[in-house]
Amino acid sequence: MGISAKLVKELRDKTGAGMMDCKKALESCDSDINKAVDHLRSIGIAKAEKKSNREAKEGAVYSYIHPGSKLGVLVKINCETDFVANTKEFKSFIKDIAMQIAASDPKAITREELDPKLVEREKAVYKEQIIQQGKPEHIAERIITGKMEKYYKENVLFEQEFIKDTDKNIETYVKEIIGKLGENINITKFARFQLGE
């Protein structure tokens, strides 16, 4: 039995993937649209991994001012070509990232970019809390590790839950966009400004 054009269009509307990719995904998933969505996501992420070493010198600097003009974000995102930088998908992506930064106030893009002094200070605070609770040292290390993982999820942009889809984090969202647009994309810098801070 063939795959209906209506089903292909529905999958395309959900994922933004190409018509042929949607048709192949539906064929390999026995016309199950939910499985096909997952299949396309995994393919997009796999493609993104291959593109991650390619140079990205084009892109855009985007400014987002939250209604009320008391909070603003500047974000610089690179891609490989100005063609992609001018697509609706890229512009929508860069706006999503700016809104994510406005809403979630990350301290860095990746763990590696966090200030080591900040990380050590957090660990010291957690250690002091655990000592005050009278926990043994071998348990304290595991508790600190767990608390630090939570800290990273809250303060590292790539590890934060995406505000528009909490089933994925920002790193996964970036990889999906790379798979969809077919180019390497890097979030390179951001600044968040808020009155009263």
Residues 93 and 18 in one domain: no
Q: Domain containing 23: what range?
A: 5-51
Residues 62 and 104 in one domain: yes
Using alpha carbons only, give the angle 75, 155, 43 rounded to the nearest 5 degrees.
70
Residue 134: which CATH number?
Answer: 1.10.286
Residue-wise pLDDT for 138-184, tens only, equals 788 888 889 999 999 999 999 999 999 999 999 999 988 988 888 88
Residue-wise pLDDT for 116-142, tens only, equals 998 999 988 888 888 788 877 778 888
pLDDT band at 43 (very low <50, low <70, confident <90, very high): low
Q: How many domains does the chain have?
A: 3
Q: Mean pLDDT across the stretch 72-98? A: 94
Residue 11: which CATH number?
Answer: 1.10.8.10
Residue 54 has pLDDT above 70, yes or no: no
Q: What is the pLDDT of residue 49?
A: 54
Residues 67 and 123 in one domain: no
Residue 45 has pLDDT above 60, yes or no: no
48 versus 193: which is more confidently predicted? 193
Question: Among residues of the chain, what percentage have pLDDT more than 70?
Answer: 89
Residues 99 and 162 in one domain: yes
Beta pairing partners, 194: 71
Q: What is the CA radius of gyration of the chain?
A: 20
Contact 153, 99 (CB under 8 A): no
